Structure 1
Amino acid sequence: MGIQAIIEGKKQWRAHMARVKALPRDYEIVYKEIQRYFFKVGPVGLADGSLLTGILDFFEEGVAAGKGVLELIGDDVAAFCDDLVKDTRTYADLYQESMVHPPRA
């Protein structure tokens, strides 16, 4: 990855987080909890940014419709997250697979 790609990635991330900060406070708090959860669970496709951007788009639509964040996702943030990535491999899955079938030296 070249320096230009790193700089562009940082610009995109800052723009993304500016959108998050523009959300109502309850949405922002829940978004950050979702983000923290995904950073721990580690869906393999998280790096491309589409998952978090999709959630942000969904939240912005909810705000525009005048809905509360919990109306959109329910009371259990972790269950919402798990449902989003239920058919997606996570880094935890990859780790478990590596423990069952460790690489040969």
Structure 2
Amino acid sequence: MKFWEKVTGGDLTRAYKSFDARAQALPAEYRAAWDEIKIQLSPYSDFTGRSLMPILDGALGLLEETAADGQSVHEAVGDDIKGFCAAIAGGEGATGFRDKWREQLNHNVAKKLGRLGG
């Protein structure tokens, strides 16, 4: 990968387009599940989104294999797509960048309030 592509995110754009092209070959219910998976996984991303690329590739691969085997999308991801995404992203309670920022903000506010109150 070239430095400029990494800085500008061109490699990520190509990867997302590749994922979407693969998803277009899936049946309609699988495409709907894929769209929901992308939405539900976004909170687990880092700032650039690079951390999600292997997870998205694996999730799409699972959908492709399940569709090829003739199984329903519910057999692949279950009825709870949000729970499925939490499980593949590191489990329920895994922290994303929003959680880290929230924790840092709460810590800083508590520290300032401690100084003002004491």
Runs of 5+ consecutive residues of structure 1 not aligned to the other structure: none
Matched-pair identity in % = 25
Q: Which has the bigger relative contact order, CA under 8 A and spacing at least 6?
A: 1
CA distance in 2: counterparts of 1:64 and 1:36, whole angstroms: 24
Cα distance, 1:92 vs. partner?
2.6
Q: CA RMSD in A?
A: 2.4
For residues 80-103 of structure 1, the C-alpha deviation after alignment (integer angstroms, 9 at most, x for no partner) is: 112222164312321222123239
TM-score w.r.t. structure 2 length?
0.72
Matched, 1:31 2:37: no
**2:72 maps to 1:68:** yes
Unaligned runs of 5+ in 2: 112-118
Change in Cα spacing, 1:11 to 1:44, as seen in structure 2 (3 Å) is closer
| 2:13 maps to which of 10, 15, 39 | 10
Aligned-pair distance for 1:47?
2.1
Name the larger-Rg structure. 2
2:102 is paired with a residue of what secondary structure?
A: helix
1:90 maps to 96
Q: Do the aligned residues in 1 keep the contact of 2:41 with 2:86 (CA within 8 Å)? A: no
After TM superposition, give the deviation of residue 20 of structure 1 in Å.
1.1
* d(CA) in 1 for partners of 2:76, 2:39: 19
1:101 aligns with 2:107: yes
Q: SS of the residue aligned with 1:32?
A: helix
Aligned equivalents of 1:90, 1:101: Cα separation in 2: 17
